[in-house]
Amino acid sequence: MGLYIDTFMAGIGGQGVLLMGQLLARSAASQGYQTTWLPVYGVEKRGGDATCTVIISDEEIYSPVVARPRTMILMHSRMVPRFVSRLREGGLLVVNSTLISRGEIPRDDVELVDVPAGEMAQELGSEKVANLVLLGAFLKKTGVLSLEAVQEELKRSSPKGKEKQLELNLKALEAGYSF
């Protein structure tokens, strides 16, 4: 087996978890990889739980369901007690340290990457891009896709007339990648 990575992402509705996962999956597909994106979210527009699982492989994927993911991205402290135990031993955990402190992580058998994504996003001009800061850091740490591949998908999927938002999104992705 060549490339295979599964990632579980979790946050609160409105934080952009689903967009982050969709962007990762679409970028992988545009690079010729097999991919799945499995979103799960509550009925609330904002404030409910939002999770998704993304699998990227160079071989056929037989199920979008992952019980024990190899990598995980958590955006809010409320997600830690619910999901962190699912991460495989030795897995990679990327967290938004603006909202999750190291002391909240009850595991010492995983690789922890603390990214002050909320603070970095605010410095860029909008806390709404914290998800892209985290995605950039995840890309750098895993090497699963190039920054350029995700930037191209972001440009391709960005609505017309939203050039300022696209510029901010690209900066957030780069900031996380450089972190």
User: What is the per-residue pLDDT for 2?
Assistant: 81
What's the DSSP call for residue 129? G
The CA distance from 157 to 176, in Å, is 20
Question: Contacts by 110-113 with C-beta closer than 8 Å and gap 24+?
Answer: 113/137, 113/141
Tell me the two tokens of residue 147.
């920054």
Instruction: Residue 33: count other Cβ atoms within 10 Å of its Cβ.
Output: 22
Residue-range domains of the chain with CATH:
4-178 (3.40.920.10)
Structure tokens belonging to residue 86:
């699912």
Q: Which residue has the tokens 């495989």?
A: 88
pTM above 0.85, yes or no: yes
What tens digit of pLDDT does each residue of 53-68 get?
Answer: 999 999 999 999 999 9
Question: For 5-39, what is each residue's pLDDT tens digit?
Answer: 999 999 998 899 999 999 999 999 999 999 999 99
Flag whether pLDDT at 176 surpasses 60.
Answer: yes
